């Protein structure tokens, strides 16, 4: 076993842990501050399609990573790296198209503009 072979577990754990952190802490902490400190007893209405899209995107990435790693025999190799890079390009392309309102008007302009 090569010395660097032992760090594959760390890479996968970091990727999964990062998404879990993004979903749970980066959403939970602001909502907790809003409802417990700024306006105690209030609640936050979640009706944003953007929030739903972002949460589902992160969740699907974690699921894909686990399933793809399992399908590859729990090995990190060149083929698996290429698959993950293609998945990321697909993810970032869809996220950009979403932000540009290609799939519908999810982000109306904040102010009037001639552009």
Cα-only R_g, the chain: 19
| pLDDT score of 48 | 64
In a domain, 34, yes or no: yes
Residues 77-105: what's their mean pLDDT?
A: 87
In a domain, 108, yes or no: no
Q: Please state the separation of Cα 113 from the chain's center in Å.
A: 30
Output the average pLDDT for the chain. 81
Contacts of 51 (CB under 8 A, 6+ apart): 27
In a domain, 85, yes or no: yes
Beta strands in the chain (DSSP E): none
Q: What is the share, in percent, of the chain residues with pLDDT greater than 70?
A: 83
In a domain, 62, yes or no: yes
Nearest-angstrom CA–CA distance, 14 and 62: 11
Q: What is the pLDDT of residues 6-53, one digit of tens each?
A: 677 777 778 778 877 877 888 889 889 999 999 999 988 776 667 777
Q: Which domain holds residue 44?
A: 3-99
Number of domains in the chain: 1
Contacts of 57 (CB under 8 A, 6+ apart): 91, 94, 95
In a domain, 27, yes or no: yes
In a domain, 87, yes or no: yes
Is the pTM here over 0.85, yes or no?
Answer: no
Q: Is 105 exposed, middle or buried (CB count within 10 Å of its CB: 0-12, 13-18, 19+)?
A: exposed
* Contact yes or no for 44/35 (Cβ under 8 A): yes
* Contact yes or no for 23/58 (Cβ under 8 A): yes
* Contact yes or no for 16/67 (Cβ under 8 A): no
């Amino acid at each position: 076993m090569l010395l660097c072979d032992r760090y594959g577990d760390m890479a996968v754990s970091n990727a999964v842990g990062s998404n879990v952190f993004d979903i749970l802490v980066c959403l939970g902490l602001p909502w907790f501050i809003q409802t417990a400190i700024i306006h105690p007893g209030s609640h936050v209405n979640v009706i944003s399609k953007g929030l739903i899209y972002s949460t589902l995107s992160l969740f699907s990435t974690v699921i894909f990573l686990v399933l793809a790693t399992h399908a590859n025999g729990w090995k990190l190799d060149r083929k698996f790296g290429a698959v993950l890079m293609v998945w990321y390009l697909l993810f970032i392309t869809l996220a950009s198209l979403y932000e540009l309102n290609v799939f519908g008007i999810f982000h109306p302009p904040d102010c009037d503009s001639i552009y």
